Amino acid sequence: MSMSDGRMTVALFFAICFVLLGNGLAQTKRPAEPISLKNSPSVSELPKAKKSQISGAHQYKGSLHILSTNTRLSPHDLSAQLAELGSAPYVIPLGNSRTGVINMSAPSLTGDHHLVNSYLEGYYPYFVENPMIPLYVLSKRKQYQLDADQYRGREEVWQTSREAFSFSRGDCEDHALILADWLIAIGEDARVVLGDYRGGGHAWVVLFKSGQEFLLEATKKDGVGRNRAYPLASLHTEYHPRMMFNRNEFWENNGSKYTTRYTGSGWRLQSRYHRTSPKSDPNSS
């Protein structure tokens, strides 16, 4: 690849975005089950003690390797390109018709855009051996609330995993981010999935364990137990995955939207995100 080809790829990477797809994911999100949205504080009304817990948000810089074009963006170039998205109010799938969706950018609490991988900060509240406990704890600790209600009309706001555990309210991706990051921290292979659920955009978690795939509905509040087995993903045909990611990798579903499988030829690994130079340990106080 020539230098000019490389520059053109980088330009296309950020300039040609599937905005309509992003709007579809952002505007139609719904909880998996009815959950009370009453008495919900805005972020400005959160206690100061909780605000102080999110000081590590996005302290990581990172580079990105786009696999389909073998293009690498340095931390400086990646930050500069993301800054050009400004305060776009929606999640933006990035790529073009040739590469497909190679990653996604989402607005943070401050309105700045970050790659979705970076919202998995490597944070977990405490270590557990039982992989059933994180979902149980979140079902008791965190309530579902749409972004527009929590953030005074903003349609899309992503909490990092640290923020998601600190804040008592959040929507589907906020629940999924802290659940996936917690499971990854205890050694599990967990990923955040973005797609459709009963006609609306949604986010959930898939767990790969003992050769099987389990679907974890992070917003579920009822019927969750410390020792209740997670359901097989193959039983949940109403979930239609489109993309998924962990701390470092991003996949796109190039197969059927109706698949209940999260591995196989239908899934294409699109990019790898490499974290560099953290200012501090995200689990430090």
pLDDT at 168 over 60: yes
- Cα–Cα distance, 255 to 266 (Å, whole number): 4
Banded pLDDT at 278 (limits 50, 70, 90): low
Residue predicted with more confidence, 229 or 168: 168
Percent of the chain at pLDDT > 90 equals 71
Q: Which whole number is the average pLDDT over 40-45?
A: 28
Q: Which whole number is the average pLDDT over 25-45?
A: 32
Q: What is the pLDDT of residue 144?
A: 95
Q: What is the pLDDT of residue 27?
A: 40
Q: What is the pLDDT of residue 87?
A: 85
- Cα–Cα distance, 222 to 182 (Å, whole number): 20
Regarding pTM above 0.95, the answer is: no
Nearest to 60 by CA among 132, 138, 101, 115: 115
Tens of pLDDT, residue by residue over 101-110, are: 999 999 999 9
The burial of 3, by beta-carbon neighbours within 10 Å (0-12 exposed, 13-18 middle, 19 or more buried), is given as: exposed
Q: Which whole number is the average pLDDT over 149-177?
A: 96
Q: What is the pLDDT of residue 2?
A: 37
The string of DSSP letters for the chain reads --HHHHHHHHHHHHHSB-HHHHHHHHHS---SS-----SPPPGGGS-HHHHGGGTTTT--EEEEEETTTTEEE-HHHHHHHHHTTTT-SS-EEEEETTTEEEEEEEE-TTS-EEEGGGG--S--SS--S-TTHHHHHHHHH-EE--HHHHTTT-S-----HHHHHHSSEE-HHHHHHHHHHHHHHTT-EEEEEEEEETTEEEEEEEEEETTEEEEE-TT--SS--TTPPPPBGGG-TTEEEEEEE-SSEEEEE-S-TT---SSSTTEEEEEEEEEE--SS-TT--
Q: What is the pLDDT of residue 32?
A: 37
Query: Which residues fall within 8 angstroms of residue 243, CB to CB, at 6 or more apart?
Result: 93, 101, 104, 193, 194, 195, 250, 251, 252, 253
Could you tell me the residue ranges of all domains in the chain? 3-276
Residue predicted with more confidence, 19 or 128: 128
Q: What is the pLDDT of residue 239?
A: 98
End-to-end CA distance of the chain: 45
The first and second tokens of residue 163, run together, are 């923020």
Q: What is the pLDDT of residue 103?
A: 98
Banded pLDDT at 187 (limits 50, 70, 90): very high
**Mean model confidence pLDDT for the chain:** 82
Q: What are phi and psi of 144, to 5 degrees?
A: -85, 135
Tens of pLDDT, residue by residue over 80-122, are: 999 999 889 999 999 999 999 999 999 999 999 999 999 999 9
Q: What is the pLDDT of residue 4?
A: 37
Percent of the chain at pLDDT > 70 equals 76
Q: What is the pLDDT of residue 256?
A: 97
pLDDT at 38 over 80: no
Neighbours of 153 (CB within 10 A): 8
